[in-house]
């Protein structure tokens, strides 16, 4: 996601991902009163991001079996030259950690969207220039995990890489031609005023390639505007502005082609996306027919208890300093909440 690293990547691929909130003192005392099944938003799809490289299996299972999550976004596959790997450095289709997680979630009734890229990695189209190998790498994701939905998280240097963006759009066009019903989304950085100029250029590249994106998912987080930012209002403002930009490129886009992805709880810039913000954004999204609601990330949808941090350390694979340091944990939101309160709030617009 935008600005902050989130998953542990190989040194060749990038650094650790996820500087996320942990400070329990960032109090949000608004609680969802009852656990409700998540299902889907009235207007679209609810598909929260899951960091597949931080031992979050238990959280994903609970989200599916106890909170009704029917679709989730698995993050991240990344390019390493012309090889397509998961952020923990293991190959797509042969990852002893990720593959069983996805298989178990599927057995529990949840569909997966495979997301490529992220804050410190890049999708395969940006690390490989051989279009046939790019197409084959993405095709393997579809085949290995039995999905027909891909997301491309394009940020950092990648969003300004016009050659990489062009290869990405060619890949989407090729994949749609060979996979009936394939849905493809891009996840892009945003400000409350809308997409950056580079983000708009991604949309223009799609049109130039003859591709209409199924979803333009905006990261409504980390605006760098300080702790006083009203994050709910900012997300709604970003959504409205982005749709106008989308329609300036292709008048056929509607709110059904828009996605909203906040970072729940404390953001890296010190701002806080609260449970009240979640309720207001979900209500706005549902009433306007927004196509996808998501958030970063399922493993963070709990308060920063000693037990949560201890479990993260026991699971291994994470830097203890990241888990314990205020405003950086990948395993809790940094606000007062009941478990999965954001899941319940965001899925019930």
**Residues 243/217, Cβ–Cβ less than 8 Å:** no
Distance CA 184, CA 329 (A): 30
Tokens linked to 330: 């990948």
Residue 111's closest CA among 153, 139, 150, 85?
Answer: 150
Cα 134 to Cα 89, 158, 169, 257: the distances in Å are: 18, 15, 11, 25
Annotated catalytic, 155?
Answer: yes
| Residue partners of 15: CB distance under 8 A and separation at least 6 | 5, 9, 120
Q: Which of 101, 122, 141, 155 is catalytic?
A: 155
**Residues 249/221, Cβ–Cβ less than 8 Å:** no
Burial of 282 (0-12, 13-18, 19+ CB in 10 A): buried
* DSSP letter assigned to residue 51: E
**Residues 114/147, Cβ–Cβ less than 8 Å:** yes
Cα 23 to Cα 222, 291, 310: the distances in Å are: 16, 32, 15
| Residues involved in catalysis | 155
């Amino acid at each position: 996601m935008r600005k902050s690293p989130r998953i542990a990547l190989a040194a060749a691929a990038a650094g650790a991902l996820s500087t996320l909130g942990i400070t329990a003192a960032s109090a949000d005392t608004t609680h969802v009163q009852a656990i409700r099944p998540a299902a889907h938003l009235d207007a679209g799809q609810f598909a929260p991001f899951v960091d597949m490289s931080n031992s979050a299996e238990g959280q994903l299972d609970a989200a599916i079996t106890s909170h009704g999550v029917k679709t989730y976004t698995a993050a991240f596959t990344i390019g390493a030259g012309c090889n397509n790997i998961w952020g923990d450095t293991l190959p797509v289709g042969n990852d002893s950690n990720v593959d069983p997680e996805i298989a178990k979630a599927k057995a529990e009734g949840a569909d997966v969207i495979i997301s490529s890229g992220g804050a410190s990695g890049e999708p395969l189209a940006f690390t490989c220039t051989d279009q046939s190998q790019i197409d084959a790498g993405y095709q393997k994701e579809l085949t290995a995990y039995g999905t027909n939905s891909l997301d491309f998280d394009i940020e950092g240097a990648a969003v300004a890489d016009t050659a990489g963006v062009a290869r990405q759009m060619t890949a989407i066009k090729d994949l749609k031609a060979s996979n009936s019903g394939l849905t493809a989304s891009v996840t892009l950085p945003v400000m409350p005023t809308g997409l950056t100029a580079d983000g708009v250029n991604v949309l223009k590249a799609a049109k130039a390639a003859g591709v209409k994106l199924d979803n333009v998912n905006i990261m409504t987080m980390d605006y760098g505007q300080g702790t006083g930012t009203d994050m709910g209002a900012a997300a709604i403002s970003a959504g409205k502005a982005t749709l106008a930009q989308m329609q300036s490129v292709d008048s056929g886009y509607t709110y059904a082609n828009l996605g909203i992805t906040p970072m729940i709880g404390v953001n890296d810039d010190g701002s806080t996306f609260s449970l009240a913000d979640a309720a207001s954004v979900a209500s706005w999204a549902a009433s306007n027919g927004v196509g996808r609601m998501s958030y970063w990330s399922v493993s963070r949808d709990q308060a920063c208890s000693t037990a949560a941090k201890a479990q993260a350390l026991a699971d291994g694979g994470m830097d203890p300093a990241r888990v314990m340091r205020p405003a950086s944990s990948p395993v809790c939101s940094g606000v007062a909440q009941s478990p999965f309160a954001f899941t319940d709030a965001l899925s019930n617009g």
